Copies of this chain bind each other. A is one copy, B any other.
């Protein structure tokens, strides 16, 4: 049987989603370890998005094959009982035999949190980027609006495979929540480092170091060397992945 599940995690202690060398703890590795405990056989987990080291998720989507006779509610409970407290299956359900979480994904949503106050806050440090200087939301939003549409995003990242750097962005919006600025971006797919690179560069606009026009010029150049430094991983959340139906 093939299953599809939504996974939430605190990425603080992990070397990203994807299993790499055996000595590094990854989300995929922990999920596969839990499935081995539950099913008794080695199971490969496929994920929709390869989040980097330190990046969090509320709605990562995975799939895996498993023989299980006790229903999906019991399966969810059994897997969660075998996962560490910083990873959880939010839901799990049977799916089509040919479902692939990455290839079938139609839309991904990411959010990035900036804690924008002169003094740092220890209680949000694991889930936001602390930027001391006051950022201006209006020019950041003006620049971000230019991202919407089908564009070459080469300035902001590399493709995980191949060399196609064209992506479609459906929405890119900033909002203020008390002392925090939240950037929400929706697209069909994202280049490696794309959201963090966009946020790092937009922050230069918010700080007044770049004009919105300079941002757009760097973006249109489709040249990786034109981006500002990427924002750090702990502010980034994979919020959801959507599929047809």
Contacts and interface: CB of A to CB of B under 8 A. Distances in A.
A22 interface: no
A2 to B, nearest CB: 22
Interface string A147-169: 00000000000000000000000
B90 A123 contact: no
Nearest to A123: B10
A125 interface: yes
A232 to B, nearest CB: 12
A121 B85 contact: no
A11 to B, nearest CB: 9
Contacts of A123: 8, 10, 56, 58, 127
A112 interface: no
A171 to B, nearest CB: 23
User: A interface, how many residues as a size bin?
Assistant: 20 to 34
A122 B80 contact: no
A58 B87 CA distance: 27
A189 interface: no
Interface in A75-130: 76, 80, 85-90, 119-123, 125-127
A88 B8 contact: no
A219 interface: no
A62 to B, nearest CB: 15
B8 A125 contact: no
Given A80-B120, A87-B122, A88-B121, 12 more contacts: A8-B121, A8-B122, A10-B123, A10-B125, A56-B123, A76-B119, A80-B119, A85-B122, A88-B119, A88-B120, A88-B122, A126-B126
Lowest 10 CB-CB distances: which A-B pairs, in order? A10-B122, A86-B122, A88-B122, A9-B122, A85-B125, A88-B120, A10-B123, A8-B122, A87-B122, A90-B119
